[in-house]
C-alpha cells in the first residue's frame, strides 16, 4: 500500500554540513518529522521518538490484525489440553506460590 509523503517539513542534506544539525533536530522535535532532501529527492525521513514509536505500534497492530484474520478455532487448545500436554495437573498449579509481576 502506497502512502503520500508529506513534504512540507523538508531540509537539504547540505544543511547538516553547515552546522545546522541542532536546528534540524529541534524542528523534528517540534513537528514530529522532517524529510531530508538530496538532489531534490527525499533521501530519508527523520522522526521524533514519539512518531517512531507510533509508527512501530501501527505496524504491530497491522500484523496482529492479519493474524486475527487468519485464526482457525480448530487450532486452539483448551486450558485442560495444555496442562495435559505439559504433564501438569491443576493440583500442582494450585500448590505453586503466587508470582508477582512488576
pLDDT digits (tens, 9 = 90+) for 37-71: 999 999 999 999 999 999 999 999 999 999 999 98
Share of the chain above pLDDT 90, in %: 62
Rounded to an integer, what is the distance from CA 44 to the centroid of its chain?
A: 18
Domains of the chain in start order, with CATH, are: 1-47 (3.40.1620.10), 49-96 (no CATH)
What lies within 8 Å, CB to CB, of 42 at 6+ separation is 5, 7, 10, 35, 36
pLDDT for 28: 92
pTM of the predicted model as reported, rounded to 2 decimal places: 0.59
Share of the chain above pLDDT 70, in %: 93
pLDDT band (50, 70, 90) for residue 9: confident
Amino acid at each position: 500500500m502506497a502512502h503520500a509523503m508529506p513534504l512540507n517539513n523538508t531540509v537539504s542534506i547540505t544543511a547538516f554540513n553547515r552546522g545546522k544539525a541542532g536546528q534540524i533536530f529541534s524542528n523534528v522535535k517540534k513537528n514530529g518529522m522532517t524529510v531530508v532532501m538530496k538532489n531534490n529527492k527525499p533521501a530519508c525521513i527523520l522522526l521524533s521518538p514519539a512518531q517512531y514509536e507510533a509508527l512501530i505500534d501501527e505496524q504491530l497492530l497491522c500484523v496482529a490484525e492479519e493474524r486475527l484474520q487468519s485464526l482457525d478455532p480448530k487450532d486452539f487448545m483448551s486450558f485442560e489440553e495444555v496442562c495435559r500436554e505439559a504433564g501438569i495437573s491443576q493440583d500442582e498449579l494450585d500448590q505453586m506460590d503466587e508470582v508477582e509481576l512488576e
